[in-house]
Amino acid sequence: MASRRPVRRRAWRFALLFFLPLLLPTATYPQDQWPAPLPPELPWDGQSQELIVAQDDPWITPAERTGLTATPTYDETVAWLQRLAAAAPELNLVSLGKSHEGRDIWMVIASVEGAVTPATLKAAGKPTLLAQAGIHPGEIDGKDAGLMLLRDMTVKGTRAKLLKGANFLFVPILSVDGHERSSPYGRINQRGPVETGWRTNARNLNLNRDYSKLDTPEIQAIVRAINQWEPDLYLDLHVTDGIDYQYDITFGYTGRHGLSPSIADWLDQRLTPALNKDLKARGHIPGPLIFAVDNRDPARGLVGWTAGPRYSNGYGDARHLPTLLVENHSLKPYRQRVLGTYVLLESTLRTLAKHGKQLRRATVADRTRQPERVPLTWKAPDAEPDELEFLGVQWETAPSDISGGECIEYTGQPVTLTVPYFKYIEPEVSVTRPRAYWIPPAWPEVIERLALHGIYLETIAEAREVVVELARLSEVKLAGEPFEGHVPVTAVARPERRTVTFPAGSVRVPTDQPLGDLAVLLLEPDSPDSFFRWGFFLEVLQRAEYVEGYVMEPLARRMLEQSPTLKRTFEKKLAEDADFAADPRARLLWFYERTPYFDDRWRVYPVARE
């Protein structure tokens, strides 16, 4: 018997090999036909191409060597940067931490003083730009642009002036493990580079959903770096797909309506005009962040989205760190995108050098602002939306026999449209700012994360009795499937006033601190990015103690005898709720809930408001 089985298996394998190509035609689809059939490329011949050095230049970057069509591996990138740093006294490399797979997350420190520590960098008093590439490794334009700029600022000397006015912190690859999951098939909607990394980290988590919950070593590393190096401005460099349009580089941030209005003013008045001017002068087509209402019909308009703190730009707004989200357009060639990013980085450094003092004042103003009501979610006003001039690309739609729906096809012809612009700038849900939050020591994973954000915490050494507001949760709904390694949960939270004794080791989180707004967004159960909504408090949703029917029955009878009001309420409930009336367990539970034996912490959100 033992000898016959393998023979059968081999026969099966043979049959599979023979017939599989016939059964699955995709398995024999010729490799050279795999390149994704993208919409037509728009012609481009921008002046920024002069930035590419000659092929025989000793400091040519690995991407330039390929004419900006390919991007180097992690090892090649790090080796090239180490060689550059060895030759340039302005540059130092520091590891911000390690990924799951043990790779260092490198940051380049570029300063005239050759600073290696936050203290020496800050001592010179210059403004500091932190730019990070590869949070989504398939969108790696920023890395290759940064390598070129670092070279030109140092050994080449053509951009040496930039460092006289501002320091430059540069993370070439944030999602280092995702970057090494490289193939030609990482980005189907994108025109190069020939091979790219994968969108998520080694645990399949999207780093640009992790800023509030801080699960990943990569985002923990960058938040630690933000706290230590205290950059004045933060850039998160991406590439976006979605609809086709003429813009090759788009960028945006939370506007005046958000939690950092003074910073938004500076970005509106100083940075945005400078970037637009410099990018246009070099032949690029800058635009605002583009999110279509409907990707199958660009004429329906665009959405001006207000990001929550799970995203870099929403996080920046919540912690009053000036933050710009940059999205190159995926349908533009890699060469054009890298050069646009170079011009954007250069222009940002120049603007920061010129107007950095003003930005610092704006940042201080926002950190001390501490509004009485904090918006948790945003909506578009009911009024007619604004109109926006949109540099689009013409399209046709036709019924599709593939999808059975409508299919959109872009023609490659530029077109200028006026479209509605739905701006999500009106607070939808907001809360009053409590004086502080209280967190019992039983929730260390939440307390640790607050500390990692840099939020100031007071830990009490002895138990303390405090009058607080606690939220009782009802209508609890768990998400049907996991999201980013969590089971998100929503509930209706009703406040109750209580006197609570917090044990030693409990933490008080005052909200009159620079990161007070962020604390509110992380701790209010109605905030979409709160630890509660991410599912960090699922334990309190479970009931642990029960009552036997033979105990509850006589007790319930006595309760009815003693309280005519209770009797009336019970009878009303029986009359109005047929399901309840027909459910003996629910009826006993109804009485149990009204006894002091019932768990007074069940469905009570344990983070209290002072």
Residues forming contacts to Zn ion in the complex (CB under 5 A) are 136, 139, 238
Closest contact distance (angstroms) between CB of 584 and Zn ion is: 55
Count of C-beta atoms within a 10 Å radius of residue 479: 13
**CB of 291: closest distance to Zn ion in angstroms?**
13
Pairwise CA distance, residues 130 & 225, whole Å: 10
Q: Which is nearer to Zn ion, 309 or 356 (CB)?
A: 309
Q: Exposure pattern of 266-300 as b/e (b: 16+ CB <10 Å)?
A: bbeebbbebbbebbeebbbbbbbbbbbbeeeebee
Closer CB to Zn ion, 136 or 151, in the complex:
136
Q: Are 121 and 92 in contact (CB under 8 A)?
A: no
CB of 91 to Zn ion, least distance (A): 27
Among candidate residues 388, 259, 242, 392, the one with its CA nearest the CA of residue 313: 259
Which neighbouring-strand residues pair with 467?
499
Q: Which is nearer to Zn ion, 136 or 508 (CB)?
A: 136
Shorter beta-carbon distance to Zn ion: residue 109 or 133: 133
Residue number, 138 or 298, with CB nearest to Zn ion: 138
- Nearest CB to Zn ion, comparing residues 29 and 185: 185
Q: How far apart are CA 486 and CA 213, in angstroms?
A: 10
Closer Cβ to Zn ion, 250 or 272, answer by number: 250
Specify the residue, 139 or 244, whose C-beta has the smaller distance to Zn ion. 139
Closest approach of Cβ 236 to Zn ion, in Å? 8
Contact 238, 206 (CB under 8 A): no
Give me the least distance between CB of 346 and Zn ion, in Å please: 22
The C-alpha angle 514, 516, 522, rounded to 5 degrees, equals: 135
CA 76 to chain centre: 28
Are 134 and 174 in contact by the 8 Å Cβ rule? The answer is yes
Smallest gap, in angstroms, from Cβ of residue 142 to Zn ion? 11
Q: Which residues are within 8 A (CB) of 311 and not within 5 positions of it... i.e. 6 or more apart?
A: 208, 209, 211, 325
The DSSP-derived string for 429-483 is SEEEPPSEEEE-TT-HHHHHHHHHHT---EE-SS-EEEEEEEEEEEEEEE-SS-B
In which element (H, E) is residue 350 found?
helix 334-367
Q: For residues 174-194, b (16+ Cβ closer than 10 Å) or e, as one string? A: bbbbbbbbbeeebbeebbbbe
**CA-CA-CA-CA torsion for 134, 136, 142, 146, nearest 10 degrees?**
0
Q: How far is the CB of 136 from Zn ion (least distance, A)?
A: 4
Task: Give me the sheet containing 302-304, strands edge to edge.
Answer: 302-304, 406-423, 386-399
The structure tokens listed for 297 are 């019909």
CB of 342 to Zn ion, least distance (A): 19
Nearer to Zn ion, 209 or 238 (CB): 238
Residue number with CB closer to Zn ion (232 or 484) = 484
C-alpha to C-alpha distance for 567 and 44, rounded to whole angstroms? 80
